[in-house]
Amino acid sequence: MDERAVVTRFAPSPTGALHLGHAYSAVRAHRLARARGGAFLLRIEDIDGMRSRAAHVAGILDDLRWLGLDWDGPVVFQSARLEAHAAALETLKRRGLVYRCFCTRAEIAGAISAPHGPTAPYPGTCRTIDAASRPGESHAWRIDMARAVAAAGPLDWRDERAGVVRAVPEAQGDVVLARKDVATSYHLAVTVDDAAQGVTDVVRGVDLFDATHVHRLLQALLGLPTPLYDHHPLLVGADGERLAKRRGSPSLASLRAGGVDGRKLAAGLMEDTPPAGFSIART
Ligand code: GLU
């Protein structure tokens, strides 16, 4: 039997209300920790100050309590961890593995604010720009993917479903590691914070599978341990589409307000049985 001390986490972004898909992820992470006598942590990924709302943080805590999912230790707010993210970026700067990107905010936002979305890799416009020619101009920091991959060498990680996965971060291109407006990014923050919190098992939706290629690379470059991953299938609605607020998926808050028993809902999700009208995608 595997006797490792297990530490899992739920890491929502407080940019909207949680829906059943979030509940499924949280239940799975909680179940794994509790089944193994381990810890279940809650991290609020609020680096995007423009889109994060205190009301959503409060809603997340209410939702988890309603589901009967207790967490260990204090809630960690990612916005309080910017120094650690900056230190990691500094390491990459020293190694010459990042470069300044002066491209417009709109272009960058498309590439980083949505960890789930398929976005075309950055074309490398700023890779060869002489930064000295743009003094005082605000900029993001991007990884020089080709150099970083060469520096790290071949990498893999272990996934609960996919088995041993060879990391191919090249496919993601020169991702942003620090934004113009916020001195960090999803990829950098999640990698640094998972390590700092001693997370041993990352449980999250398969929509973040591609991001893990980048996280594995950053772990290697920063000398951080690699957790095990469980990229679980997503919950889908009757239309077979993944849940999203814009598609009218009910928020947990609305289910709660409608009198749904959160603990029963969580017990169902624990058995991979979502409420009527929802199912777990087969892919
Ligand atoms: N904060 C991310 C989100 O809300 C999830 C991060 C992760 O689980 O790695 O989608």
Q: What tens digit of pLDDT does each residue of 152-170 get? A: 999 999 999 999 999 999 9
Q: Is 43 inside any structural domain? A: yes
Q: Is 215 inside any structural domain? A: no
Phi, psi of 99 (to 5 degrees): -140, 160
138 and 241 co-located in one domain: no
**Alpha carbon of 13 to ligand 1 centroid (Å):** 6
Last residue of a domain, one of 168, 196, 224: 196
pLDDT value of residue 2: 58
pLDDT value of residue 142: 96
Q: What is the CATH number of the domain that holds 135?
A: 3.40.50.620
**Structural domains of the chain, count:** 2
Q: Is 220 inside any structural domain? A: no
Whether the CB-CB separation of 204 and 25 falls below 8 Å is answered with yes
The mean per-residue pLDDT over the stretch 169-177 comes to: 95
Q: Is 227 inside any structural domain? A: no
pLDDT value of residue 114: 55
Tokens of 143: 């990884």
How would residue 242 be classed by pLDDT, with cut points 50, 70 and 90? confident
Phi, psi of 268 (to 5 degrees): -65, -45
49 and 23 co-located in one domain: yes
Ligand 1 lined by 28 (C-beta under 6 Å): no
Its domain, for residue 95, covers: 82-196
Tokens of 34: 């509790």
Last residue of a domain, one of 151, 173, 196: 196
Report pLDDT digits (tens) over 76-87. Answer: 999 999 999 999
Active site members: 245
- Report which secondary-structure segment, H or E, holds 62: helix 54-67
Q: Which atom of ligand 1 is closest in space to residue 211's alpha carbon?
A: 9
Last residue of a domain, one of 147, 171, 196: 196
Ligand 1 lined by 41 (C-beta under 6 Å): no
- The least confident of 102-116, 169-183, 248-262 is 102-116
Tokens of 65: 């309590």
159 and 241 co-located in one domain: no
**Alpha carbon of 45 to ligand 1 centroid (Å):** 7
pLDDT value of residue 244: 77
C-alpha 169: how far from chain center: 16
Ligand 1 lined by 13 (C-beta under 6 Å): yes
Q: In what order do the strands lie in the sheet with 163-166?
A: 163-166, 156-159, 228-232, 201-205
Q: Is 214 inside any structural domain? A: no
Q: Is 132 inside any structural domain? A: yes
How would residue 14 be classed by pLDDT, with cut points 50, 70 and 90? very high
Q: Is 212 inside any structural domain? A: no
Residues of the chain above pLDDT 90, percent = 80
- The least confident of 118-122, 135-139, 181-185, 235-239 is 118-122
**119 has pLDDT over 90:** no
100 and 184 co-located in one domain: yes
27 and 122 co-located in one domain: no
What is the C-alpha separation between 272 and 247, in angstroms, rounded?
22
DSSP string, 28-44: HHHHHHHHTT-EEEEEE
70 and 88 co-located in one domain: no
30 and 92 co-located in one domain: no
- The least confident of 99-103, 119-123, 204-208 is 119-123
Which of 188, 204, 231 is the pocket-test mutation for ligand 1 (most atoms within 8 Å of CB)? 204
Ligand 1 lined by 12 (C-beta under 6 Å): yes
31 and 96 co-located in one domain: no
What is the C-alpha separation between 92 and 176, in angstroms, rounded?
13
pTM above 0.85, yes or no: yes
Ligand 1 lined by 194 (C-beta under 6 Å): no
**121 has pLDDT over 90:** no
Q: Is 225 inside any structural domain? A: no
88 and 190 co-located in one domain: yes
DSSP classification of residue 49: T
